[in-house]
Structure 1
Amino acid sequence: MGNLENDKQKKIREIVSIVKLASLLFSGMVFLRYFFNGSTMVDVTVKTNYSFVSFFVLILILLSIYFLWSFSTVEKINIKYIKIIQSIENIIFVLFFMIVVLYSGKNTSDYKFIFLFIIITSTIQKGMMQGMIVACIASTFILSLDLIMGAPNVQVNLIFENDLILSGVFMLTAWPLGFYVRIENEHIRKLEGLANEDGLTGLYNHRFFYDALEGIMQTCEKENNLVSMILIDIDYFKIYNDVNGHQMGDEVLRSVGSILKSSFRKDDVVARYGGEEFAIVLPNTSEEDTIKLAERLRIKIETTYFNGEENQPNGNLTVSIGTSIYPSKAKNATELFKSADDALYRAKFFDKNRVESYTSILEELKIDTKDEHIDIITSIKTLISVINAKDKYTYGHVERVVIYSRLLADKLELNEKNKKELIYGAYMHDIGKINIPKEILNKNMPLTSAEWEIMKQHSVNGVEIIKSVESLKEIAPLILHHHERYDGKGYPDNLKGNNIPYLVRMLTVVDCFDAMTSSRPYNKRKTYKEAIEELKICSGKQFDKEIADSFIEVIIDNQNRIGNVEEYKI
């Protein structure tokens, strides 16, 4: 809708410029007419030697300058200065038309109506008030001329009477036209509201959010400013709707929308992004301030009473919040949203009712990487983004495997070094899929033998990608062997039992569990109970029994929050 408004204003400027150009041409004709009025042929000959040419050239120069300025320069001027420039332009035109009237006969001029040009254009551009002001100035000018220049002994000043009527025409032109412009603008604003606002909460809607984000990002990129984003999701909202009904659920959404409206600045974009999801874009806001705002909002919602919230799993209605910032954690609008979404994902997973700021595993890895390899780490991040775009399954899978790996590492009390290796390996274990054709990655049925052989190469390909980075050599076994089996029937090297590195055995359990409990085109998704039974059946065969048993305990201990994250993302 912002683009439509810009298009409208552009068309108005074009129309107004054409009318003003026409008024300048008309004024030039008036000057020329009075320039030759009453002149003899000798006078004309003398005048054409210098004055006529000079005057004609002057008019052409004025017209050319105005034409070029109207149709090129205005487009490049900052929007906040346009109204000031338009006001100055209108003053110049009023003064110019005063000169035309004075030159063409003063109070007896037949061209006083020329003020209608500027009255009409100023009203169209700036509304009734501006039009009435210009009309009053024009009326005062021509009536003052009549009083000053009129014959003192004449009892009835016919020119003054006619100009009173003309002044009335000026006023009647500005008033109804201004009223029409006001009605049209109000109608447009109502249509914008219907198009841009969410009908339930009164916040901006999903479509406007993306339009506004794009505009804000473009401005901040030019001015080198920060842009922060907050994503909010109401915890256990499905449970609330199921218990209390959708009408009460709608009341909750209205109330949360009202809280959001009152919690942010006028320039912040507050939108309802989805069912129970909200998004806020905050221009020129630091990460520290964004986190403080998010935490204040979380507390405000937690302490607000909502009817029926006592039936919620936490005993009250809460929200999970994720934040991110441009340019330090995202390079464009897409990355900004995705990184805030990642942070929200973690907030939903880790107990809910919390604020999480986006942290990239690869950013953590950069700290442990030598300077000469930083560019390679950045390239790896790009590769993983490409894989996510190719395979819609991989993105959510990698995030979940990382979270599961953190939990299992804590359960098995890994030291900090091994924990980092496991997490980095979990993040990059499928990086070799960059070389797998999209048709194979997204195939809707089981792979053929030939396709399966191609798919199995992704672990070898992954090691090739990271082998030049010294600091990543520790995680190479995790990438290469995460499809090995405890009984030696895996790939690529048929490693068996304790010959498979301990961290690899951990990753294998986590990776397979998520594969079993995720929706894939050719694989029926298992419930957590079914997946746990599968882990038990395959313990000692596909998986290290000790690790599998520990992971089962992790799943049981965290089943409630894992289940809700699954519902949220898949």
Structure 2
Amino acid sequence: MRNLKNSRNNQVQDIISVVKITSLLFSIIGFFTFFFESKLSNKYAITTLASYLVTITMGLLAVAYLFWVFSTSNKIDVRYEYILKIFDSSLFVIFFIAVICVTGSYQSNYKFLFLFIIIASTIEYGMRHGMIVAITASSIILAMDLILVPTITINQYFQNDLVLAGVFILTAWPLGYYVKIEGEHIKRLEDLINEDGLTGVYNHRYFYEAMKEKFAIAEKENEYLAMVFIDLDYFKHYNDLNGHQKGDLVLKTVGGILKESVGEKDIVARYGGEEFAILLPNNSEIQATEVGERIRKSIEKTYFHGEENQPNGKVTVSIGISVYPDKAKSDIDLIKSADDALYRAKFFNKNRVEIYSSILDELKNDIEEEHIDLITSIKTLISVINAKDKYTYGHVERVVAYSRLFAEELCLSEEDKKNLVYGAYMHDIGKINISKEILNKKMPLTKDEWEILKQHSENGIEIIKPVNSLQEIAPLILHHHERYDGMGYPDQMKGDNIPFLVRVLTIVDSFDAMTSHRPYNKRKTYDEAIEELKRCSGTQFDPIMTKKFIETIKKNMHEFQH
């Protein structure tokens, strides 16, 4: 729609430019005709050379104006648009006054030239501006008749120009009214195309158009651009209990709250389903967080039918925030990082605002200066893996979240907590060398494919080998598929010979694998996964750590299931 609108505006500007150029050409004709007739009649003592010079000058002015119009089309800063309106219209009015004065003043046949600028101004700037130009032009020609016409009983020039003034005003008025109606009609069509029909906020398609535009401005002006993702907690549960009509009413109400919570320049859109997105131009992380908290509290305080049956006892939202350029370097990064923050907000407790933070950004604080670039490269590799295998992305985020929680429950030292989290984040980094076909295969893997997949542990070690500070997490990457009974890979380690943090990560990794959608496995419920952990305790998993992990999951199960 934006491209169509720009195309239409360009076409209108071209028409207006042609109208203005035509008026200049008529002026040149007027000058040439008047000077030619004056020379023949000797009425004015103007030389042939002077006539040519004036005509050539007017022609050059017309060409110069033509070049200026087409070279600056759509490049004028909106801050100077009003000044441009006044300058453009005033320039033509002054020019036409000069033409009329030179071609006979009140006797001139070129008073009609004002019609060109009246038409152009009305189409371009609207009825108000067109009427101002029309009244100004009418006042000028009538003033000429009253001041310059010799004293006579009947001023025929004034009578004729009174009719012409009426034509000026009647041209600007209906034409301006038509432009106004067309503008309102186009605005309504834009609203129908750009708005989400249910919630009244912008739709997903418009959001992406606005995102590109706002990001380009932020990049050019070196300004902040905040992205806020909002997701309704337990919305499926609400729909199942209260019906989709009540659910739609919730979405509509939330859309209204979001619009009331932001400024006129901010963009609120329905991103999909029960998820909304907000663009906050020139908002820092602190400002965006304040907006997010204001929205969260406002929705929490609003009463919705049947909300007492929600797990939270209220209809609530989880909110994720990221900000350019602090947390993202591109528009895609901004969306992804805000989505990551939303994921964490939903994973832990819900009904909260979460600001994006990268594990690798945390890692940079603990890494040698000379290896910072390599850590950035690792981040890029993980992004590539995520693009190849959507399961891996969600899996890594969840394993990190489980690991943080389990580390707190185990009261691990700060160093062990960091190593467990960093290891959880990078444990599948070796999948960069595994083909997309194998990672996403829905049928069981062949023996050869399975052998290729098993290589990802050793591949991961090779990637982090140059970074000395990452050697502490190397065992987690290499051995997270070892089994407590020694039947795992790659080294068939057994029992307590498997490093402690590896045994912890293996349980977390397997639990999420069981409770997630995978190409070749049916997702288990949390209860089913717990039973599987119990069944494999002592064979695949460390029995003591398994028991403690099950206790952790049961204790926090209401926070995870959504």
Shorter-chain TM-score range: over 0.9
Which residue identity does 1:82 align to in structure 2? E
Distance 2:479 2:43 in 1: 104
What is the 5 A alignment of 1:67-86? 67-86=66-85
Tell me, which stretches of 5 or more residues in structure 1 are unaligned? 565-570
Q: CA deviation at 1:109?
A: 1.2
Which residue identity does 1:35 align to in structure 2? F
Which residue identity does 2:199 align to in structure 1? T
Q: CA deviation at 1:332?
A: 1.2
Which residue identity does 2:347 align to in structure 1? F
What is the 5 A alignment of 1:451-470? 451-470=449-468
What's the secondary structure of 2:124's corresponding residue? helix
Indicate the larger mover: 60-69 or 424-433: 60-69
Distance 1:38 1:529 in 2: 104
| From 261, 284, 288, the counterpart of 1:290 | 288
| From 292, 303, 306, the counterpart of 2:304 | 306
What's the secondary structure of 1:483's corresponding residue? coil
Asked whether 1:409 is paired with 2:410, we answer no
Name the structure 1 match of 2:3.
3
Name the structure 1 match of 2:229.
231
Distance 1:46 1:239 in 2: 91
Asked whether the 8 Å contact 1:425–1:478 carries over to 2, the reply is yes
Asked whether 1:442 is paired with 2:440, we answer yes
What's the secondary structure of 1:7's corresponding residue? helix
What's the secondary structure of 1:231's corresponding residue? strand
Distance 1:241 1:452 in 2: 42
Q: CA deviation at 1:282?
A: 0.7
Which residue identity does 1:114 align to in structure 2? L
What is the 5 A alignment of 1:164-313? 164-313=162-311
| From 349, 352, 370, the counterpart of 2:350 | 352
Q: CA deviation at 1:159?
A: 2.3
Distance 1:310 1:477 in 2: 48
What's the secondary structure of 1:489's corresponding residue? coil
What is the 5 A alignment of 1:548-567? 548-564=546-562
Asked whether 1:17 is paired with 2:2, we answer no
Asked whether the 8 Å contact 1:36–1:44 carries over to 2, the reply is no
Name the structure 2 match of 1:109.
108
Indicate the larger mover: 296-305 or 374-383: 296-305
Tell me, which stretches of 5 or more residues in structure 2 are unaligned? none
Distance 1:178 1:327 in 2: 44
What is the 5 A alignment of 1:359-398? 359-398=357-396
Asked whether the 8 Å contact 2:28–2:59 carries over to 1, the reply is no
Once the two structures are superposed, what CA deviation does each residue of 1:118-140 show, in whole Å capped at 9, x if it has no partner? 01000000111111111111111
Name the structure 2 match of 1:425.
423
Asked whether the 8 Å contact 1:433–1:462 carries over to 2, the reply is yes
Which residue identity does 1:2 align to in structure 2? R
Name the structure 2 match of 1:140.
139
Q: CA deviation at 1:9?
A: 2.2
Q: CA deviation at 1:42?
A: 11
Once the two structures are superposed, what CA deviation does each residue of 1:375-417 show, in whole Å capped at 9, x if it has no partner? 1111111111111011111110000111111122122221111
Asked whether the 8 Å contact 2:39–2:47 carries over to 1, the reply is no
Normalising by the residue count of structure 1, what TM-score does the alignment of the two structures yield?
A: 0.95
Q: CA deviation at 1:244?
A: 2.1
What's the secondary structure of 1:74's corresponding residue? coil
Asked whether the 8 Å contact 1:74–1:82 carries over to 2, the reply is no
Name the structure 2 match of 1:51.
50
Asked whether the 8 Å contact 1:402–1:427 carries over to 2, the reply is yes
Distance 1:203 1:434 in 2: 40
Which residue identity does 1:15 align to in structure 2? I
Name the structure 2 match of 1:474.
472
Q: CA deviation at 1:116?
A: 0.7
What's the secondary structure of 2:544's corresponding residue? helix
What's the secondary structure of 1:243's corresponding residue? helix
Distance 1:472 1:64 in 2: 68
Distance 1:292 1:171 in 2: 52
Name the structure 2 match of 1:37.
37
Distance 1:504 1:357 in 2: 29
Name the structure 2 match of 1:568.
none
Q: CA deviation at 1:307?
A: 2.5
